[in-house]
Amino acid sequence: MCGHLRQGSACEAQALRALRDDTAGARRESSAQVSGSSLRNAVKDWRGHRAASAKMRQNMAEQIEREKHLRYSHL
């Protein structure tokens, strides 16, 4: 894959770097939400917990679509 990517455009390389950075940020955000959440806190603020979880799922789905768009063309 690396050899193929070297042949790609500078724009593709920049997009891959942004994707890598976005993935790392999403991983940290997800980890922080899960580690900071307890069953007791989730029950206290069920609406907030559900909203945060929905946002996290939406962000993951968007990330997957960006990855598919960018990476699948290199397969």
**Mean pLDDT (whole number) for 26-53:** 83
60 in Cβ contact with 19 (< 8 Å): no
Is 52's pLDDT higher than 70? yes
Q: Which carries the bigger pLDDT value, residue 75 or residue 62?
A: 62
Is 47's pLDDT higher than 90? yes
**Which pLDDT belongs to residue 1?**
41
**Which pLDDT belongs to residue 8?**
65
| Separation in Å, CA 70 to CA 5, 9, 22, 23, 45 | 11, 12, 13, 13, 37
**Mean pLDDT (whole number) for 12-33:** 80
**Which pLDDT belongs to residue 46?**
92
Cα distance between residue 47 and residue 22, in whole Å: 26
